[in-house]
Amino acid sequence: MFLQYLKRIRFVLLWSLLCVGIFFLIFVLEEINLKAAVYPTVLCLAFGLLFLLCGYLRYKKTGQKLEHLLQGEGPYEDSLPVAQDGIESGYQELIRKEEQQQRKEHARWEKSGQDMEDYYATWVHQIKAPIAVMNVLLQQEDTETNQNLKAELFRVEQYVEMALGYVRLDSGTKDLVIAQYPLDEIVRKSIRKYAGQFIRRRIRLIYEGTDQIVLTDEKWLSFIIEQLLSNVVKYTLKGTVTIIVSEEKKLTVTDTGMGGIAPEDLRESLKKDIRDIMEEWNGNQRESVCI
């Protein structure tokens, strides 16, 4: 930092050296005894070093304050160091204007996102009414056509629930209820929801149950399991689906459907998801929980 300060005042130092050189040159040309210049030179040098030290300390204090601001978060409008001249004052005014513009853009973006979230949430809740009516109408006659329509309507209902789940993702930990739950109850509840689809597709399900207790959010864990089962129904034309819970509380869903995601793509996808979650978690500065 001291070298940076010397670089900043380099023209002042060069001007001072030039003045000293001119001073001694005049003494030489006028044949004045140089001893007469020693005392004022020492005084000028002492005062110069004092002013140099004071200027460096002020420069260091300003630099440390700016570094502290860079490591933290805004707003910076009332936290900037005192401007030393008109140029610095102009730069600070530009920073204030930029920060105010950024606040306006951020507020506009948040309002737009909230409006969009409210719209989708309202749409999801309103669409459930005609779905329920269609379910009632299709149950009046047990025909093959009605069975097929009920299956497709079930898929529509799941897509609606998926849309609602994605809308809730932005709520972060505010929508989480972390507690200990029996894993078997959550898995069986999801299986019962898709039982009709397994029977219709003639897909064999193997699940022997588990006595594991997990620390999680019941709603979101059910959502994840249901998405896995939804993909099973969608991409498994025939065969078997196996659900296993290991002693390490690792839940595995295996089917005999299509090939699935390539291992290298799966690893990159998981890395990206984990990185995004950690960035959002750290940005919100919320208390960490175990899911």
Instruction: Check the CA dihedral 80-83-87-90 and report its sign.
Output: positive
Q: Which residue has the higher pLDDT, 68 or 139?
A: 139
174 token code pair = 């505010």
The lowest-confidence range among 13-27, 68-82, 86-100, 109-123 is: 68-82
Q: How far apart are CA 104 and CA 222, in angstroms?
A: 39
Mean pLDDT to the nearest integer, 239-247: 87
Q: How far apart are CA 17 and CA 11, in angstroms?
A: 10
Q: For a pLDDT cut of 90, what percent of the chain falls above it?
A: 2
Q: How far apart are CA 280 and CA 124, in angstroms?
A: 26
Please tell me the predicted confidence (pLDDT) of residue 264: 59
pLDDT band at 288 (very low <50, low <70, confident <90, very high): very low
Count Cβ neighbours within 10 Å for each residue of 200-234 and write b for 16 or more, e otherwise. Answer: ebebebeeeebebebebbbebbbbebbebbbebbe
Mean pLDDT to the nearest integer, 191-219: 86
Checking if the pLDDT of 266 tops 60, the result is no
Please tell me the predicted confidence (pLDDT) of residue 284: 45
- Dihedral of CA atoms 242, 247, 248, 252 in degrees, nearest 10, equals 0
List domains and CATH numbers for the chain. Answer: 2-102 (no CATH), 176-257 (3.30.565.10)
Mean pLDDT to the nearest integer, 194-209: 85
Residue that has been written with the tokens 């004092």 in this structure? 50
